[in-house]
Amino acid sequence: MRPTTARGGPATVHVVLPNDIDDPATPSGGNSYDRRLCRGLAAAGWTVREHAVPGDWPCPDRAARTGLAEALAALPDGAPVLLDGLVASSVPEVLNPHARRLRLVVVVHLPLEHDAEGAALAAAVAVVTTSEWTRRRLLDRYALPAGRVHVARPGVDPVPPTPGTPAGGNLLCVAAVAPHKGHDVLVEALAAVADLPWSCVCVGPLTRDPGFVVGLRRQVTGHGLADRVRLVGPRTGAALHAGYAAADLLVLASRRETYGMVVTEALARGIPVLATAAGGLSEALGRAPDGAAPGLLVPPDDPAALAGALRRWLGEPELRQVLRRAARGRRRTLDDWTVTATVTAGVLSGVVTA
C-alpha cells in the first residue's frame, strides 16, 4: 500500500544529505546507508526529495549553516524531513527555528557526543539509529524519550558465498584509513605474525587524515611489510566485490564503531570476521542459528590480542573450518535493505500522522 499523509495524499519525505554522498572518492558506510535508504523508501511508495547540502560536516562554516537553513526554510509546513546526523547533529541553532513547523527526524550513524548534538536531537520528533548500541548510547547521554529513538540496522545484498583458500592467508580490511579505524594497531599485530604466510589488502579512502596515512606507510615500511600490506584506496562496485571474493578473513581494528557495515557485508559472503569489541561491532557480528560466533573479537587498541587471534586463525585449520561454518550460518540470518527501509518508513508514518 502506498503511504499517504494524514489528509490522504501521497506521502513525500525530504531527505537532507551531505553533499558528498555519491562521491566515489569518499565512500563511507553512512553514505551507503543513506543512498540505500532513499532507494528503499522510494520502492516502498514514498516520494523522496533529496537535498544535498554543501559543507565540511560535522564542522560546517557559516556558509554551510546558511545553506542548510535556506534548504529547511524552503520546505512546506508539516513536511517530514529525514536528516543525516552528520549534517544535523552539530547545528541545533539551525534546526530549532523549524522544529515546530517541520517533522524533523535525524538518522544518527556516529554519535558526536557533545552538547550541541543533544540539543539537535531534542529538536527532532524522532531519531533513527543504525544499531541498538547507538540507541543505548544516545539514551544514556541525552535526556531523550526512549519511544522517540528507533533502530534501523543496515541491510545487506544477497551475494554468493566466498569459498576461501585452505591456508586462510588472504586478509582484507575495509575502512577509511584514519586513526579511529585502528590501522596502526593492525600493522603492529601483522608485524607480530610476520613469520606466518599472509597478505593484507586495506581498502578505503586515504584522504581523511593524510598525516596518519604518511605515518602508517612509514610504520609498514619500518616493519618490512611493504610487499605484504597494500593500501589500495577506495573501491566501490565490482572492484569492491572482487576484493571480498578474494578474501579469507575480514580484519577490522577499529577503536570506535557504531555498527560496522563491512562486517555484515563480509558475513553475507560467508567470510569470517576478526574485529575489536568496540561499540556495535559485536552486534553486527552476531551469531549463527546454532549460537556459534562467526568470528573473533578482541579488545580495541590491543595489538598483542589482535596478533594472538591472527595467529590462531592462520595456524589452526580446525578453527578456520568452525568459523567459516558459522559465517555461512550467520549469512542466512542477515536482513536485506527492505527491512531497513520498512522500519524507517514506519517511523516516518508515525511522525506524519502524529
Q: How far out from the chain centre does Cα 337 lie?
A: 13
Block residue for cell numbers 599485530: 189
Query: Which CATH number does the domain housing residue 224 bear?
Result: 3.40.50.2000
* Same domain for 214 and 184: yes
**Cβ density class 303-324: b for 16+ within 10 Å, e for less:** bebbbbbbeebbeeeebbeebb
pLDDT (mean) for 167-189: 97
* Same domain for 224 and 293: yes
Q: In the prediction, which pLDDT does 6 show? A: 46
* Same domain for 244 and 290: yes
Nine-digit cell string for 284: 553486527
Residue 163 domain-assigned (yes or no): no
Q: In the prediction, which pLDDT does 28 show? A: 85
**Cβ density class 69-84: b for 16+ within 10 Å, e for less:** bebbeebeeebbbbbb
* Same domain for 39 and 125: yes
Residue 164 domain-assigned (yes or no): no
Q: Find, among 328, 260, 252, the residue nearest to 297 by Cα.
A: 252
Nine-digit cell string for 47: 516520494
* Same domain for 148 and 22: yes
* Same domain for 126 and 243: no
Residue 205 domain-assigned (yes or no): yes
- pLDDT tens digits, one per residue of 250-276: 999 999 999 999 999 999 999 999 999
Contact between residue 12 and residue 79 where contact means Cβ atoms under 8 Å apart: yes
Residue 161 domain-assigned (yes or no): no
* Same domain for 270 and 210: yes
- Mean pLDDT (the chain) is 95
N-to-C CA span, the chain: 19
The string of DSSP letters for 1-31 reads ---B-TTSSBPEEEEEEETTTT-TTS--HHH
Residue 16 domain-assigned (yes or no): yes
Q: In the prediction, which pLDDT does 1 show? A: 43
- pLDDT tens digits, one per residue of 123-163: 999 999 999 999 999 999 999 999 999 999 999 998 999 99
Residue 3 domain-assigned (yes or no): no
- Total domain count for the chain? 2
Q: Residues, the chain, total?
A: 354
* Same domain for 314 and 183: yes
Which residues constitute the domain of residue 135? 12-155+335-353
Q: Residues near 227 by Cβ (< 8 Å), separated by ≥ 6?
A: none
* Same domain for 148 and 86: yes
Alpha-carbon distance of 235 to 232, in angstroms, equals 8
Residue 165 domain-assigned (yes or no): no
* Same domain for 251 and 117: no
- pLDDT tens digits, one per residue of 209-248: 999 999 999 999 999 999 999 999 999 999 999 999 999 9
* Same domain for 320 and 344: no
pLDDT (mean) for 315-338: 97
Residue 195 domain-assigned (yes or no): yes
Is the pTM above the cut of 0.75?
Answer: yes
* Same domain for 78 and 93: yes
